[in-house]
Amino acid sequence: MTIEKITLGKNGPLVSKLGLGCMRMSSVWGGKNNDEAESIATIQQAFDSGINFINTGDFYASGHNELLVGKAIKGRRDDAFISVKFGAIFYNGHMLGLDIRPNSIKNFINYSLVRLGVETIDLYQPCRLDNSVPVEDVIGTVADLIKEGKVRHLGVSEITADQLKKAHSVHPVTALEIGYSLADRQIEKELLPTAKELGIGVVAFANTAEGLLTGTLKAPLAPDDYRNHFSRFQGENLVQNLEKVDVLVNMAEEKGASPAQLAIAWVNAQGSHIMPLVSMNKRSRLSENIDAMNMAFTPEEMRILNTEFADGNLLGDTYLQR
């Protein structure tokens, strides 16, 4: 089965409608890295299947993730559209803050190019914006890197509609990377319409809502599960949220799919400019999620999902509540 290609943003690059998120191949929040050989095989099989969009960050396990991607794309540079985030400062699995100063960005890019073993990064983006550096300076620095040939396209991530408009006025934004799922729909009010109006592609991550929509979670989570930090996954909130997820579980059973596949298919169905960016660490997930890209909903199924998972229907917050 081949993957459809879409134009990312107005007149932008041609990329696969399904993106491969590499973050969970490395131990971003501590713990063990995933099986390296399987991770590399997954990236390469993704290329064979027509997926070219791969996503990493320079702070994903202190460069481990970029080094891994670098190994996987060796000899296959033309198969890959590489998207890199920068700006998060991590120490021992904890995010300490942001550094998006122009000089820091110029430093970060050179390390990323070396770790990836490439001359140019296809899509380069600050992982967040804050008030420490004017948007013009952050975006202007990436625009300078584009002029220099170190970067092809500008992306942004996890920002507000106003920040998106501002960034786009400094330099055309090709893609917005943003958390979006049946369980996290707050961007539908302002940010998604703004991206559409400006002709900016949407790279949507966390389609399974940190695993909530996979139908495999049981309350309570294990004490060492990182999701315990978020109120959505705590106590009675989790119990009630899992009852809502049962609607997806039952629909999946009727359709002969898994709940995670339907969660991805729902994001895919939200528009031709919206790309599901999914973490896949093993080859078996690739085939499952490629199949998900061909799943469709009847109008009645869409109505049920949109009613059950209307914005605000789930209890508690995650890191995506902005």
Binding site for ligand NAP (CB under 6 A): 21-24, 55, 85, 127, 157-158, 177, 205-208, 211, 214, 258, 260-261, 277-281, 285, 288-289
Least CB distance from residue 180 to ligand NAP, whole Å? Answer: 10
135-144 — which CB contacts under 8 Å span 24+ positions?
Answer: 135/163, 135/166, 135/167, 135/170, 136/166, 136/170, 137/101, 137/102, 138/100, 138/102, 138/105, 139/167, 139/170, 139/171, 140/102, 140/170, 140/171, 141/102, 141/105, 141/106, 142/105, 142/171, 143/170, 143/171
- Cβ distance to ligand NAP smaller for residue 85 or 232: 85
- Cβ distance to ligand NAP smaller for residue 100 or 127: 127
- Cβ distance to ligand NAP smaller for residue 146 or 295: 295
Least CB distance from residue 204 to ligand NAP, whole Å? Answer: 9
Q: Is 3 within 8 Å of 50 (Cβ atoms)?
A: yes
Q: Is 90 within 8 Å of 62 (Cβ atoms)?
A: yes
- Cβ distance to ligand NAP smaller for residue 226 or 236: 226
Least CB distance from residue 215 to ligand NAP, whole Å? Answer: 8
- Cβ distance to ligand NAP smaller for residue 96 or 236: 96
Q: Fill in the amino acid letter for 179.
A: G
- Cβ distance to ligand NAP smaller for residue 304 or 319: 319
By beta-carbon distance, which residue lies closest to ligand NAP? 21
| Integer CA distances (angstroms), 256 to 175, 261, 289, 308, in order | 33, 10, 14, 20
User: Where in the sequence numbering do the catalytic residues fall?
Assistant: 60
Least CB distance from residue 270 to ligand NAP, whole Å? Answer: 15
Cα dihedral 238, 26, 6, 138 in deg (nearest 10): 100
Least CB distance from residue 74 to ligand NAP, whole Å? Answer: 20
**Does residue 271 come out as left (phi exceeding 0), alpha (psi in the -120 to 50 range) or beta?**
left
Measured CA to CA, the distance from residue 48 to residue 2 in angstroms comes to 9
Q: Is 252 exposed, middle or buried (0-12, 13-18, 19+ CB in 10 A)?
A: buried
**158: CB partners within 8 A, 6+ apart:** 127, 128, 177, 178, 179, 322
Q: Give the SS3 label for residue 157.
A: strand
Least CB distance from residue 278 to ligand NAP, whole Å? Answer: 4
